Amino acid sequence: MEKGRRVVVSALQFACTDEVSSNVANAERLVRAAHGKGANIILIQELFEGYYFCQAQREDFFQRAKPYKGHPTILRMQKLAKELGVVIPVSFFEEANNAHYNSVAIIDADGTDLGLYRKSHIPDGPGYQEKFYFNPGDTGFKVFQTKFASIGIAICWDQWFPEAARAMVLQGAEILFYPTAIGSEPQDEGLDSRDHWKRVMQGHAGANLVPLVASNRIGKELIETEHGKSEIRFYGNSFIAGPTGDIVAAADDKGEAILVAEFDLDKIKSKRHSWGIFRDRRPDLYKVLLTLDGNNPTL
């Protein structure tokens, strides 16, 4: 029997310093190690160039943003992707004239930049004050045809929205990727979202019958804010889920990790088609999803 299209995906997990050069070097080291384990598509965590600065509302942090074209980290990852023959989504803080975005550039296995996704859902709460820095993304949910698979990329808070996952799979995404920065809640030490976080994304994988890859950072990060010091302990727990939502590879909350898993995309495609979840959809009944309050669904 002929073998289907096989792809090996990887999620990286590491602690960040607040020095760009050391973080990018660390990311490159782990990408090389993942390649050594056979990985074809390698996910680095969200905003890995430095600390997660959104704990504070500080105007000096806008200096961390850089334009998409000519971005030094993207250029470096393009060279690395071409050298190793791997796909690398690269998360970065984007400056676009007077707008700013939480963005990811998708680098194909020959070093080609396939384009940009800008984070659509922007959180705003204690410790995660992203609305101060980021405009809502204007790219819409996209699918990128890489050498190894058609992939959908969304970013952190996007992962809590089933509409985003479904939109990407409807467009042909065979695997979903979510670079992330999530941890403790500064306003509530007793709140631990890690299991909830994982279950929501496992649901996306199972509901769409596609593998899913989530990469999160680890470590304690202390940021000086306008109200004093703020601390988040990032809980890692990066994971790879199979097309039924089962976790096939997982990291803990403390250690650096290189997760890998192999999938037969043709076998998964056959299972997805035979299961009927896309055959039996009723888009004509979903107009209510275009509203905020459930009213006026004909808009």
Is 90 exceeded by the pLDDT of residue 144? Answer: yes
Mean pLDDT check: name the lowest of 1-15, 104-118, 252-266. Answer: 1-15
pLDDT at 277: 96
Query: Average of pLDDT values for 194-198?
Result: 97
Q: Please tell me which residue in 156, 174, 198, 221 is annotated as part of the active site.
A: 156
User: Catalytic annotation on 287?
Assistant: no
Cβ within 8 Å of residue 127, ≥6 positions away: 54, 55, 184, 185, 186, 187, 230, 232
Residue at 299 is within a domain: no
Residue at 66 is within a domain: yes
Residue at 296 is within a domain: no
Domain that holds residue 243: 6-290
pLDDT at 298: 63
Residue at 273 is within a domain: yes
Query: Average of pLDDT values for 31-36?
Result: 98
Residue at 295 is within a domain: no
Query: Average of pLDDT values for 120-139?
Result: 97
| pLDDT tier at 297, thresholds 50, 70, 90 | low
Is 50 exceeded by the pLDDT of residue 1? Answer: no
Q: Please tell me which residue in 28, 94, 119, 174 is annotated as part of the active site.
A: 119
Residue at 210 is within a domain: yes
Residue at 217 is within a domain: yes
User: Catalytic annotation on 28?
Assistant: no
Q: Please tell me which residue in 16, 28, 46, 198 is annotated as part of the active site.
A: 46
Question: pLDDT tens, 220-274?
Answer: 999 998 888 999 999 999 999 999 999 999 999 999 999 999 999 999 999 999 9
Q: CATH number of the domain that 205 lies in? A: 3.60.110.10
SS (H, E, C) the chain: CCCCCEEEEEEEECECCCCHHHHHHHHHHHHHHHHHCCCCEEECCCCCCCCCHHHCCCHHHHHHCECCCCCHHHHHHHHHHHHHCCEEEEEEEEEECCEEEEEEEEECCCCCEEEEEECCCCCEECCEEHHHCCCCCCCCCCEEECCCCEEEECCHHHHHCHHHHHHHHHCCCCEEEEECCCECECCECCCCCHHHHHHHHHHHHHHHCCCEEEECCEEEEEEEECCEEEEEEEECCCEEECCCCCEEEECCCCCCEEEEEEEEHHHHHHHHHHHCCCCCCCHHHCHHHHCCCCCCCCC
pLDDT at 4: 85
Domain count, the chain: 1
User: Catalytic annotation on 142?
Assistant: no
Percent of the chain's residues with pLDDT above 70? 98
